[in-house]
Amino acid sequence: MNETIQSILNRRSIREFKEEQINDEDLNIILECGRYAPSGMNRQSYAFVAIQNEEMMHELVNECMQITGRDGSPFYGAPTVILVFGDVNSNTYIKDASTAIENMHIAATALNLGACWINCVDDLFNSKKGEKLREEIEIPNNYKCVGSLALGYIKGDYPEAKPRKENIVKIIK
Ligand SMILES: Cc1cc2nc3c(=O)[nH]c(=O)nc-3n(C[C@H](O)[C@H](O)[C@H](O)COP(=O)(O)O)c2cc1C
């Protein structure tokens, strides 16, 4: 099968990661795939912040644990988290950022890395609670957080694909 199609079909949400950090080359390829995502009128309204710094990761995890009320890390211990923001001055910013997250997720699959879209960051950065972290990562207020991608080496078994809904596709000839 074509390798691109294979990566799309093999993509899974991975929720168990090794502690080992991913290498810079892979990270840069993944971010580049985000930058090459389509965007409304080519405004490229997205912005990416990859967190690998231990102290900052700790802060991010703690804040998100409070927001979600979860005991464990909402990022499942992934050593890298890519925060994805969108410039609200573009009316397609949510769609632009979402295409970028998906591009990066597929790229991670192609590189045999695990990834999972993590939602709670939007609640964090788009509220007062996230102001301190926003200042630390130097992202201006006109960039809203749309989501994030937890990234790392896969630990444990590769998950089976979840069953897909029937009757959601029509081909009208
Ligand atoms: C917009 C969006 C938000 C998501 N947020 C989370 C999340 O916060 N935590 C999580 O574990 N998975 C999250 N996921 C992953 C979904 O749960 C996952 O895509 C779905 O269960 C299908 O599984 P698959 O990705 O392995 O095909 C999110 C996915 C999307 C598209």
pLDDT in tens, 119-152: 999 999 988 989 999 999 999 999 999 999 999 9
Split at pLDDT 50, 70, 90, the class of 172 is very high
**78 CA distance to ligand 1 middle (Å):** 15
Probe target for ligand 1 pocket from 116, 123, 124, 164, with the most ligand atoms within 8 Å of CB: 116
- Residue ranges lining ligand 1, Cβ < 6 Å: 12-13, 15, 116-120, 162
Split at pLDDT 50, 70, 90, the class of 167 is very high
Backbone torsions φ then ψ of 165, nearest 5 degrees: -65, 140
Share above pLDDT 70 across residues of the chain, in percent, rounded to a whole number:
100
Split at pLDDT 50, 70, 90, the class of 36 is very high
Q: Token pair of 4, please?
A: 């691109």
Probe target for ligand 1 pocket from 13, 81, 101, 158, with the most ligand atoms within 8 Å of CB: 13
CB 153 within 8 A of CB 113: yes
Residue nearest to atom 26 of ligand 1 (CA): 12
Which is it for strands 80-87 and 46-51: parallel, antiparallel or unpaired?
antiparallel
CB 21 within 8 A of CB 79: yes
Edge-to-edge strands of the sheet including 114-118? 46-51, 80-87, 143-152, 114-118
* Atom in ligand 1 nearest the alpha carbon of residue 12: 26
pLDDT value, residue 160: 97
Which is it for strands 114-118 and 143-152: parallel, antiparallel or unpaired?
antiparallel
pLDDT value, residue 21: 98
pLDDT value, residue 31: 98
Q: Token pair of 121, please?
A: 């960051």
Q: How many residues does the chain have?
A: 173
Burial 148-160 (b: 16+ CB within 10 A, else e): bbbbbbbeeeeee
Q: Which parts of the chain fold into alpha helices (H)?
A: 3-10, 24-35, 54-68, 93-110, 121-125, 131-137
Residue nearest to atom 29 of ligand 1 (CA): 117
Residue nearest to atom 10 of ligand 1 (CA): 118
Enumerate domains of the chain plus CATH numbers: 3-152 (3.40.109.10)
